[in-house]
Amino acid sequence: MPEMQRPPVTELRRVPGTELRRVPVNGVELNVALAGSGPAVLLLHGFPHTWEVWTDVMADLSDRYRVIAPDLRGFGASSGTASGYDAGTLAEDVAALLTALGVPSAAVVGIDAGTAPAFLLALRRPGLVRRLVVMESLLGRLPGAEEFLADGPPWWFGFHTAAPGLAETVLEGHEGDYVDWFLRAGTLGEGVRPALRNAFVRAYTGREALERAFSYYRALPESATQIEQAVATARLKVPTMALGARPVGAALERQLRPITDDLTGHVIEDCGHIIPLHRPHALLALLRPFLADENAGAT
């Protein structure tokens, strides 16, 4: 699709009245940012981010919706466990979070590491998910991503998983340099504001924080099996939008097309992987009409 005009970052409004709350679910405590009122929109972040990756879209969404943005299990300020970083468990975490908050249904938006849990939640619990938006990730081994994976998966997948403890040992003391690489690459060299950069670095500093983050990657084979098993017995029936940029492009849409009843796909041009921070206005221009189309009577 054509590139969308983007106002200067200074025009983006920060989220007024955001509440941070710790919510116990499934044996962990999730750190959750809450803002606004109305039908619920659940935002699931990726790596190496926290809920703050949504900072530049939350203000707009919170004018119309109750925005719920947790740190996933073991990420950011949420507590971690020795296991449970597979997509199925992360999906059950956020299902329990919605129950704990008294939310009967939500539109669910996931990026990167948040995509697979969002997808499984919508597939397994369609009554809980009104609309689904997924972006810049792949869904396990589902067909459709062969072109993207022609040269193999991204290099850091192997680095994070090759030998238990290796990545943590190499990176401890150098977390800032590592996170900076992802932030620059994910915004096509532009980087992110210092305050956000520092928040992300703090969230991934220390051996335990790194181990929890890499546990997500080490659980990817289990997550891929969960996805294959789920699509073998069910179709994705909730209205779904797949968004791509660089590097994933339309690969996620191609994976979803054969198994989804109602799918819309867009590729945002001149946009890096971290869509909510790199092109937040382009993202909002797609989210607003998609979310507004729903018959959202639930809060």
Q: Would 171 be classed as within a structural domain? A: no
Give pLDDT, residue 288.
Answer: 97
The model's pTM: 0.93
The C-alpha atoms of residue 169 and residue 210 are separated, in whole angstroms, by 9
Q: Would 170 be classed as within a structural domain? A: no
Edge-to-edge strand ranges of the sheet holding 129-135? 19-25, 28-35, 66-70, 40-44, 106-111, 129-135, 240-244, 263-267
Give pLDDT, residue 3.
Answer: 35
Q: Would 201 be classed as within a structural domain? A: no
Give pLDDT, residue 4.
Answer: 35
Residue type, 178: Y
Q: Would 172 be classed as within a structural domain? A: no
Q: Would 204 be classed as within a structural domain? A: no
Q: Would 273 be classed as within a structural domain? A: yes
For residue 100, give the CATH number of its domain.
3.40.50.1820
Q: Would 183 be classed as within a structural domain? A: no
Q: Would 297 be classed as within a structural domain? A: no
**Number of domains the chain is built from:** 1
Would you mind telling me the total number of residues written for the chain in this entry? 299
Tens digits of residue pLDDT in 13-70: 456 689 999 999 999 999 999 999 999 999 999 999 999 999 999 999 999 999 999 9
Tens digits of residue pLDDT in 252-269: 999 999 999 999 999 999
The domain in which residue 87 lies consists of: 9-150+224-292
The C-alpha atoms of residue 5 and residue 2 are separated, in whole angstroms, by 9
* Cβ-based neighbour number of residue 270 at 10 Å: 13
